[in-house]
């Protein structure tokens, strides 16, 4: 665009070359390359000084605006490599919020990435919709949006579902249908992401458990487990969210084929430079510390159910 503008303004390849400080041959080559790409002539070379064709006049009318946008974009992208962005909007699923929020806020406070920090919590499908609508910049979600192009995805952790029961249940259940006859399954309802996935897994295993009690939060389920009113199927991160203490529950492996989920950090590709990779590294470190310091208190079964991703794993695009 710079070469085209210089040539159109001076009406001469040689004068354009002198203005830009490059050779006349380079000017001619670049102009010819653009004309070949557009499959049309931009200059009428049959007259001296040459003049713009109809196509050249259209391009000239828009060239300065295009060049301005290109320069602004180039500067913004280059700046992201080393500078902060003014506002980083993060959305996190409920089961991750309590685990990650304190240190994420602290890093924001000392200005690791941006001048202003905003975080919203909620369900995976709400957060994903916010990302696609450009309402947030980063989501941490159990749904990697595999069918959507133009995104980059960083795996954070994979967690296996556990049986969480009152502390009086010392031995792990062999038969979930029999267990449900003694105590009701405290289900996540269909408005959550967890609920339908657990229901689907039970159907796949041909396990039929009556629907007696359904809830939309791990905290509600945890309170009933604590009171000995039922048992639940939870992940380690949901266990954190429930605020159950080790003395309030017993934890057991899923007695059949286990169900697991992966937590992802997802952002729009190429918009934030190295920030998503740095943020993913920090989240993995927080999850590793959480696993070592807190899940260990619940025992080896819970500790083994959270597998934090390695930082060497590349982003998936």
160-214 residue pLDDT tens:
999 999 988 878 888 999 999 999 999 999 888 889 999 999 999 999 999 999 9
pLDDT above 80: residue 4: yes
Asked if residue 66 and residue 121 are part of one domain, the reply reads no
3-state DSSP assignment of residue 173 = coil
Domain stop point among 61, 80, 99: 80
Rg (CA), the chain: 29
Residue 302 lies in a domain: no
**58's tokens:** 């259209």
Residue 308 lies in a domain: no
**42's tokens:** 């931009």
Residue 304 lies in a domain: no
Check: CB of residue 117 under 8 Å from CB of residue 222.
Answer: no
**Residue 10 neighbours by CB under 8 Å, 6+ apart:** 16, 19
**Residue 149 neighbours by CB under 8 Å, 6+ apart:** none
DSSP class of residue 294 equals I
Q: What is the DSSP string of 72-111?
A: HHHHHHHHHTTS-EEEEEEEEEHHHHHHHHHHHHHHHHTT
Asked if residue 72 and residue 14 are part of one domain, the reply reads yes
Q: Please provide the size of the chain in residues.
A: 317
Q: Work out how many domains the chain is built from and give that number.
A: 3
For the residues 2-18, what does the mean pLDDT come to?
85
E-strand ranges in 216-258 read 232-234, 250-253
Residue 133 lies in a domain: yes
Asked if residue 127 and residue 10 are part of one domain, the reply reads no
Asked if residue 223 and residue 172 are part of one domain, the reply reads yes
In this structure, what CATH number is given to the domain that contains residue 228? 3.40.190.10
Domain that holds residue 75: 2-80
Asked if residue 246 and residue 102 are part of one domain, the reply reads no
């Amino acid at each position: 665009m710079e070469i085209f503008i210089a040539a159109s303004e001076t009406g001469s390849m040689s004068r354009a070359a002198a203005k830009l400080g490059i050779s006349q041959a380079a000017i001619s080559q670049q102009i010819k390359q653009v004309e070949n790409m557009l499959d049309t002539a931009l200059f009428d070379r049959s007259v001296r000084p040459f003049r713009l064709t109809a196509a050249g006049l259209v391009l000239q009318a828009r060239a300065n605006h295009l060049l301005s946008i290109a320069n602004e974009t180039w500067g913004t992208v280059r700046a992201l490599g080393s500078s902060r962005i003014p506002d980083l909007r993060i959305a996190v699923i409920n089961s991750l919020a309590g685990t990650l929020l304190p240190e994420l806020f602290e890093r924001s406070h000392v200005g690791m990435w941006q001048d202003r920090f905003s975080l919203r919590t909620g369900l995976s499908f709400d957060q994903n919709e916010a990302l696609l609508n450009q309402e947030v910049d980063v989501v941490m979600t159990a749904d990697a949006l595999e069918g959507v192009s133009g995104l980059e995805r960083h795996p954070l952790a994979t967690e296996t579902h556990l049986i969480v029961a009152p502390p009086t249940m010392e031995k792990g259940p062999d038969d979930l249908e029999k267990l449900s006859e003694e105590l009701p399954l405290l289900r996540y309802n269909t408005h959550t992401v967890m609920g339908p996935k657990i229901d689907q897994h039970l159907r796949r295993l041909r396990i039929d458990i009556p629907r007696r009690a359904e809830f939309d939060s791990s905290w509600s389920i945890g309170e009933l487990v604590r009171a000995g009113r039922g048992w639940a199927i939870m992940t380690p991160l949901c266990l954190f969210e429930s605020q159950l203490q080790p003395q309030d529950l017993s934890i057991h492996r899923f007695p059949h084929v286990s169900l697991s989920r992966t937590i992802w950090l997802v952002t729009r590709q190429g918009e934030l430079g190295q920030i998503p990779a740095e943020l993913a590294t920090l989240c993995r470190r927080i999850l590793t510390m959480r696993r070592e310091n807190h899940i260990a208190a619940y025992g080896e079964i819970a500790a083994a159910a959270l597998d934090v991703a390695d930082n060497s794993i590349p982003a998936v695009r």
